Amino acid sequence: MISTLCFFLFITMYKVFAEVVLIVLAASNAFVEAERVVCSFSSSAADRTGEYAFEITDIPISLCTHIVYDSLQLAIDVDSNDTPNILLVNPDVVVGGWQKFAALKSIKPELKLLISIRNPLIAQAASESDQRKALIEVLIEYMAEYKLDGVELLWGGYGIQSEHSLYLLVEEIKSSFRASGHPTWEVTILVEIDHGRIDYARLLDFVHIVGAGERKPKYGNNSTMPSANALFDVDDQTNMTLDGALQYWIDKGCPADKIVLVVVFIAQVFQLKKPDTVKTLKTYCTVPEDGPFCAYIEMCQKFNESDWTMGWDDTEGLAPHAFQTDYWAAYENEASVGRKGEIAREKGLAGMYAVALDLDDYRGKCGPAYSLLKSLCGSYRQKPTIN
């Protein structure tokens, strides 16, 4: 009798243990599936000279879940009948770059490929119903031909300005995707964190929020060393940390599981003029050639070639700077991008977004290749300990 009872208790405990294990594994799998590491690259980076030319074959697809092609150009022509003719212009079409981009899925089938449209003409196209229709038609044709998975639109800056136009464009794109038999195609928005919240995030698949801005240094009272503001103003809220600004977006109705935090791998370099003025330098670096900022791959080498004094503009470990004689640079390093990844994980955000692969140390000049991306991925993907 006792042995039968013990056997029954053992079986019962085993079943409970197995159910707990399955629940834990399911939660773990959900965490993995929810990870979103978006990586963009500039289509013009292939035109750089020498070893700094960035090819599609340089993309570390093992580190990214989504790749954004930055960017397609937009051309609008209205004929005599006032019928808009909208073209998506691919700068790589002559060299077959677009085909090479689409072919990445043959290496990693689960990889998602997106195109970004960041052209000033997108605002014009979004504001007119006939142009929206023409844009959507050519967009669907393009995406179907190359088996793409989504489109990213720029809101603010030199992109779409009117929130109403943005709403109409997104709504019509989504409905057209469904009608064409592609309900899983994504529509995302790229927006700076201080631009203002989106009141209808429910329409979007994801909101890519740039968690950085210009960090031009200023001299304080009786200060011999300038510093830059690392805080954000969003709507009527001022001097918020990155964590606080993200929370503001969430509190105002943008779900955390739709927010992807964008980290930009650049350095902003300034020349200090005596006694207390600052000049933006647009020709300090050659990567990228068109400036006005420096790619991390070049800036990290400059740090190693001569003496720079390193410091921070904040106490959260998010805004490093470097100083040398008459030069001052705001930049990202492994620690700062790692901390941003931690914030995204702690707040339950949908993922991280690296801008851009061709700005990171993709040639391993200062250490392991893609050191910033790897730090970002490592901190965001770090699993919580189960007690």
pLDDT, tens digit (0-9, with 9 covering 90-100), for 342-379: 999 999 999 999 999 999 999 999 999 999 999 999 99
β-pairing, 327-330 vs 320-324, is antiparallel
Residue 237 domain flag:
yes
Alpha helices in the chain (DSSP H): 2-34, 97-102, 104-107, 121-127, 129-146, 163-179, 242-251, 296-305, 334-346, 371-380
Nearest to 101 by CA among 162, 46, 23: 46
**176 alpha carbon, distance to own chain's centre:** 25
The C-alpha angle 344, 63, 112, rounded to 5 degrees, equals 90
pLDDT at residue 31 above 60?
no
* Dihedral angle of Cα 86, 92, 95, 100, to the nearest 10 degrees: -110
- State which amino acid sits at residue 21: V
Task: Assign residue 82 a region (left: φ > 0; alpha: ψ between -120 and 50; beta: otherwise).
Answer: left
Instruction: Using a pLDDT cut of 90, give the percent of the chain over it.
Output: 60
Per-residue pLDDT, averaged over 119-144, amounts to 89
Residue 27 domain flag:
no
Structure tokens at 312: 């921070």
pLDDT, tens digit (0-9, with 9 covering 90-100), for 260-297: 999 999 999 999 887 677 888 888 899 998 778 999 99
Residue 278 domain flag:
no
Place of tokens 């510093």: 227
What local confidence, expressed as pLDDT, does residue 200 receive? 79
What local confidence, expressed as pLDDT, does residue 32 receive? 35
β-pairing, 112-117 vs 150-154, is parallel
Residue 351 domain flag:
yes
What local confidence, expressed as pLDDT, does residue 10 receive? 34
Please name the helix (run of DSSP H) or strand (run of DSSP E) that holds residue 368, with its range, or none. Answer: none
Structure tokens at 197: 């919240």
Residue 15 domain flag:
no
Q: What is the CATH number of the domain that holds 241?
A: 3.20.20.80
d(CA 150, CA 148): 6
Give the count of domains, the chain: 1
Place of tokens 């290749």: 369
Residue 257 domain flag:
yes
Residue 62 domain flag:
yes
d(CA 193, CA 153): 15
DSSP letter string, 30-46 = HHHHH--EEEEEEGGGG
Residue 29 domain flag:
no
β-pairing, 266-273 vs 327-330, is antiparallel
Would you place residue 72 in the very low, low, confident or very high pLDDT band (cuts 50, 70, 90)?
confident
Domain of 232 in residue numbering reads as 36-266+337-380
Structure tokens at 275: 């006694």
Rounded to the nearest 10 degrees, the angle between the axes of helix 163-179 and helix 129-146 is 50
Rounded to the nearest 10 degrees, the angle between the axes of helix 334-346 and helix 242-251 is 30
Q: Look over the chain and give the mean of its residue pLDDT values, rounded to a whole number.
A: 85
Report the greatest alpha carbon distance in the chain.
96
